[in-house]
């Protein structure tokens, strides 16, 4: 995991620090009519023209971070005054808890990124609280009697929800529940001051509907496979009722595969919230990522990328370990 994270962050660091992005950053931090020579001087003075691997090592905290150079005096100075950057070389990078400075929001990356992650974490919690029980119930009901009317109806509904992306369902829900009926607020911007049913339901519904169909279909497939096993037939032949067989024998084994799928929803939610948070103006991780990308906020983009890579890797680890514990056929040698 550490090697994977190192390689991915190296690739992202390279792409974000391409020369066109650096020039756009220099323009945004100076003036639109600044000459090419002045832009180059700004990049040199702020350390963006150092060796690529030296800058990567400084960002990680493996090499001492170099201060900027005051163009008037030629002496060391803070790179960005709003971050209280050091004026002497020192180890200050990701490993030391310093994620850099946000040139868009004029503060440290940590001060902007972690509150945004907290807001998105709250959104993801309510999405999972709605999505997981409903999708498991739909999948179990559909898979109990394969080919029945209930199975066909729930399967069609699941496929329809999965085939509808967030930016479509979000618009539909906003038109129906916010514009026509007026039951809900089409903007979740006020949710940062306090969550209410009125301002938080639409983003939760938009994310939950899309993920519900996928988990329900996987649960149905697993349930159908379990219901055809020999031990299920044996239990029925012993005289156990259908409900007892489902609850005591089939349900536990049928939920092993959906557990892996549920854990893999976390990386998907990180990408899904980018669309939903911008659509409903909810200032979480996705909104912050879009603002950083649109304003060439290099350090904030790197922080968002690091968090994304970490969440993907850690959820996959939990998924693999959890599957090994839940599945009695798997034994760790």
Expressed as residue numbers, the domain containing 74 is: 1-98
Q: Are 185 and 177 in contact (CB under 8 A)?
A: no
Residues 6+ apart with CB under 8 A from 293: 301
Residues 6+ apart with CB under 8 A from 171: 279
Residues 167 and 262 in one domain: yes
Q: Sorting pLDDT into bands at 50, 70 and 90, what band is 10?
A: very high
What's the domain count of the chain?
2
Domain end, chosen from 75, 98, 121, is at 98
Length of the chain: 333
pTM of the model: 0.81
Average pLDDT, the chain: 83
What per-residue confidence (pLDDT) applies to 56?
92
With vertex at residue 18, the alpha carbon angle to CA 81 and CA 8, rounded to the nearest 5 degrees, is 95
Does pLDDT of 33 surpass 80?
no
pLDDT in tens, 51-86: 899 999 989 988 888 887 777 777 877 777 778 777
Strands (E) located in the chain: 68-69, 76-77, 101-102, 107-108
Residues 6+ apart with CB under 8 A from 72: none
| HSE-up of residue 106 (Cα within 13 Å, Cβ side) | 4
**What's the CA dihedral at 121, 122, 125, 129 to 10 degrees?**
-170
Determine, yes or no, domain membership for 106: no
pLDDT in tens, 160-172: 888 888 888 888 8
Residues 12 and 38 in one domain: yes
Read off the CATH number of the domain in which 126 is found. Answer: 1.10.3720.10
């Amino acid at each position: 995991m550490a090697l994977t994270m190192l390689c991915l962050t190296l690739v992202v660091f390279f792409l974000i620090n391409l020369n066109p992005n650096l020039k756009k950053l220099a323009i945004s931090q100076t003036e639109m009519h600044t000459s090419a020579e002045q832009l180059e001087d700004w990049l040199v003075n702020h350390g963006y023209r150092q060796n690529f691997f030296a800058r990567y090592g400084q960002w990680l905290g493996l090499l001492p971070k170099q201060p900027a150079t005051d163009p008037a005096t030629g002496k060391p100075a803070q790179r960005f005054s709003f971050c209280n950057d050091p004026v002497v070389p020192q180890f200050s990078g990701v490993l030391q808890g310093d994620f850099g400075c946000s040139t868009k929001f004029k503060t440290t990356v940590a001060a902007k990124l972690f509150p945004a992650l907290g807001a998105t974490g709250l959104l993801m919690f309510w999405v999972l609280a709605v999505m997981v029980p409903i999708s498991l119930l739909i999948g179990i009901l559909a898979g109990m009697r394969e080919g029945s009317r209930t199975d066909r109806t729930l399967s069609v509904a699941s496929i329809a929800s999965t085939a509808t992306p967030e930016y479509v369902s979000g618009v539909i829900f906003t038109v129906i529940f916010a514009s026509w009926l007026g039951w809900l607020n089409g903007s979740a911007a006020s949710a940062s001051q306090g969550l209410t049913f009125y301002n938080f339901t639409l983003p939760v519904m938009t994310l939950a509907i899309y993920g519900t169909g996928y988990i329900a279909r996987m649960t149905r497939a697993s349930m159908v496979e379990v219901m055809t096993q020999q031990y299920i037939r044996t239990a029925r032949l012993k005289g156990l009722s259908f409900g007892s067989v489902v609850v005591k024998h089939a349900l536990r084994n049928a939920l092993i595969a959906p557990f892996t799928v549920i854990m893999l929803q976390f990386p998907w939610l990180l990408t899904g919230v980018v669309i939903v948070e911008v659509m409903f103006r909810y200032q979480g991780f996705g909104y912050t990522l879009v603002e950083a990308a649109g304003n060439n906020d290099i350090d904030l983009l790197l922080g968002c990328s690091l968090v994304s890579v970490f969440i993907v890797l850690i959820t996959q680890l939990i998924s693999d370990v959890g599957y090994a514990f839940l599945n009695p056929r798997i034994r760790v040698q």
